Amino acid sequence: MSTVSTPPTRALFSKEHPRYKWVTLSNTTLGMLMATINSSIVIISLPAIFKGIKLNPLEAGNVSYLLWMLMGYMLVTAVLVVTFGRLGDMFGRVRIYNLGFVVFTIGSIALAFDPFTSGAGAMWLIVWRFVQGIGGAMLFANSTAILTDAFPANRRGMALGINQVAAIAGSFIGLIVGGLLAVVDWRAVFFVSVPIGVIGTIWSYISLKEVGTRNPGRLDWPGNITFAVGLTALLTAITYGIQPYGDSSTGWTNPWVIGGIVGGILLLVVFTFIELKSRAPMFNMRLFKIRAFAMANLAGLLASVGRGGLQFMLIIWLQGIWLPLHGYAYADTPLWAGIYMLPITIGFLIAGPLSGTLSDRFGARLFATVGLVIVAITFVLLLLIPVNFEYWQFAIITGLSGIGSGMFGAPNRTAIMNSVPANQRGAASGMAGTVQNAGTSLSIGLFFSLLISGLASSLPKSLYGGLTAHGVSSTVAHQLSELPPVSSVFAAFLGYNPIRSLLAPTGALDTLSKSNVDTLTGKHFFPQLIQDPFHDGLVVVFVAAAIMSLVGAIASLSRGKMYVHVDTTPTALHHKHGGTAGATPHSAPRPVAVTAADAPSAAVTGPSESGPADPTASAGVPDDPGRTAS
C-alpha cells in the first residue's frame, strides 16, 4: 500500500500560501490609508501649521507658501505615479512599493522636526512634502497592481474595493485626524505618519513577494521627461491661476499661467506621439484602445475633480461660515469641520466594499454609473439648502454623496485593472493614480477660480455695506471692497476672520467704538457678510461639478459589459488551434469580454474573431475597442 507524504505547511508569507492574498490586502490598504490621509490632513491643519511656524498666510506674498504646501504633495504624486508604475513593471512592483514606505517615512520625520520659522520654515515643509509625494507616488502606483496580481479575477472587485475605500476614505479621515491633532500640536500632524510608516515598512519587507508578470526593458527617458515637465507645467499654471493678476481677481490672464497651460498641453501631446513610437514606452498608449480602460479613466478623472471640489467647498462652508455662525471659536473649527463631515466618510465606507464585491458578479457599469448620478444629484441638493442650514439636511445629503462615491470608486478601479494585460498592470495602476491625483489638483484650481469669480460679482457690495453700517468710513470701506476676493476665500478656507487684519493697517479700528470693533472682529460678522456672496459662488461651482459627474456617468455607461483581459499563452494557442505556438507577432491573441460566470480564478479567453492584433501592442491590446470591450 503506497503512501503519499504530506508536504510541510507553507509559510504564511510564501506567495504560494492560500492566505497570501490577504497579507497583500492588509499591507496595501495600510499604504493607501497613509498616503491619502496625508493628502488631506494638512488641508484642515493649515491654520495651526502657519501659527506654529509664525507665518500669517494671508499676508501679501505668503499665499504662494499656502498653495504649495497644499498642492505640492498632490502635484508630485500625480506627476510621478505613472513613472513608478512603469518601474514596477520593469523591476518588481513590490520592490518599488516597499521603497515608497521608506521614502514616505523619512519625509514624515523631517516634516515633524522643522527647525525653522517664517518663510524658511514654510520652505522646509514644502520641500519635504515633495519628498512625501515621491513616496506616495510609489505606493499609489503599485498598490492596486500588487492586489490584482495576488487576487483571482472573481475576487478582485472585493479586494480593490477595500483598497479604494482606503484610498478615498483616507482623504476624508485625514480631515478628522488633522482636526484632532492640530488642537494638540501642529507637529503631531506630520509625526502621526512616522509610526505607521515604520510599521508598514517592516510589514511590507517581511510579507510581500513578487508574484506579478515583469515587463523588462530600458527606461523611456524621452517619455518620462516630457510627461513630467508637461504635467508639472500644466498643474503649476492652474495653481497660480487662483492668485490675482493685475486688475483681475484671478490669474488666468497672466502670461506665465497661459504659457504654462499651453506649453504643458503641447508637451503632453508630444508625449503621446513619443509613446506610440517607442519600442519600450513608459506607458502603452494603445491601452486606451480598450474601451473599458479608456472610459473608466475618463469617468475617474471627472469623478476625482468633482470629489476634490466638494471636499474643499465643504471645508470653506463649515470652517468659514457655518461653524462660526453657530458659536464655534475659529481655533476649534478645523476639528469640528472634520467631525461634521463624518457622514460622507460613513457613506463611502458602507458603499465602497459592498459595491466592489457585487461588481465581481455583475460588472462595474451599473454601480459606477448610478454612483456618479447620485453624486450629481447631491451637488444640486446642496444648492437647495440655505448656507446656514439645519445639520440633518447637510448630513443626509453628504451621506448620499459618500454612498455615490463609494458605488463608483471600487468598481471603476477594478474595471481598469481587469482590462489590461498582466505585464502592464503597474503602468495601468500608475495611470489610474495619475488621473485621481491630477483630478484633485485640477479641482483646487478650477473650483477656487469658479468660486472667486462668483464672489467677485457680489462680495464687494456686501463688504462695503457691512463695513459702513458699523462706522467704517466710506473711503476705507471702498478701498477694502476693491481688494481681490481670493483673500476672503482663503480666510474662510483656513477658518480665519480677516476683518481685523484688513482694518488694522488703515487705522480705522482706532476711530471706531468698542461695540463696533467687537462686532466687526467677532465670530458672526464675517460669516454673515460672506454667506450670500458665497452661495453665489457655490452655484457656479456645484453646477459645474454636477455637469462633470453626469458626463462621467455617461462615460461609465459607455464602457461596455464586464470585461476581463487574460493573456492566452503560446502553449494554449498551440493546443487549441493545432499550429505552432506564438510563431509571429500577428498570432498574438486578443482579449474578449467575459461575463462574471466566465471569470473565476483565471478567466481564459481565446483569440477574437475580428482579425490579428496590432504587432506593436505587446500584450494583445485590441484594435477595435468597440468590438472587444462591449
| pTM recorded for the entire structure | 0.76
CA dihedral (501, 504, 505, 510) in degrees, to 10, reads: 170
Distances in Å between the Cα of 108 and the Cα atoms of 67, 170, 195, 437 are 19, 17, 10, 20
pLDDT digits (tens, 9 = 90+) for 44-55: 788 788 888 988
**Whole-number Å distance between alpha carbons of 175 and 350:** 19
Residue 393 has which C-alpha cell?
Answer: 439636511
What is the reported pLDDT for 566? 67
Residue 328 has which C-alpha cell?
Answer: 464655534
Beta pairing partners, 579: none
- Report whether 282 contacts 224 (CB < 8 A): yes
pLDDT digits (tens, 9 = 90+) for 556-614: 999 877 777 765 544 333 333 333 333 333 333 344 444 443 333 333 333 332 333 33
What is the reported pLDDT for 460? 84
Mean pLDDT value of segment 319-327:
87
Can you tell me which residue has the cell 453700517? 469
Quick check: 11 pLDDT over 60? no
**Whole-number Å distance between alpha carbons of 526 and 533:** 12
Q: What angle do CA 602, 630, 280 make, to 5 degrees?
A: 65
**Whole-number Å distance between alpha carbons of 33 and 564:** 27
DSSP string over 414-467: HHHHHTS-GGGHHHHHHHHHHHHHHHHHHHHHHHHHHHHHHHHTTHHHHHHHHH
SS3 245: strand
DSSP string over 589-600: -------GGG-S
On the 0-12 / 13-18 / 19+ scale of CB atoms within 10 A, 103 is: buried
Instruction: Name the helix (H) or strand (E) containing 612.
Output: none
Other CB atoms within 10 A of residue 193 CB: 24
Q: For the chain, what percent of residues have pLDDT higher than 90?
A: 20
3-state percent breakdown (helix, strand, coil) of the chain, nearest 5:
75, 0, 25
Quick check: 5 pLDDT over 90? no
pLDDT digits (tens, 9 = 90+) for 171-212: 777 877 887 888 788 898 888 889 888 998 998 888 888 876
Which 8-state DSSP code applies to residue 285?
G
**Whole-number Å distance between alpha carbons of 311 and 420:** 31
3: CB partners within 8 A, 6+ apart: none
Domain ranges of the chain: 220-281, 460-535
Quick check: 127 pLDDT over 90? yes
pLDDT digits (tens, 9 = 90+) for 262-320: 999 999 999 999 988 888 787 888 888 888 889 999 999 999 888 888 878 888 899 88
Measure CA 75 to chain center: 10
What is the reported pLDDT for 310? 86
**Whole-number Å distance between alpha carbons of 91 and 249:** 48
**Whole-number Å distance between alpha carbons of 487 and 502:** 10
pLDDT digits (tens, 9 = 90+) for 604-624: 333 332 333 333 344 444 443
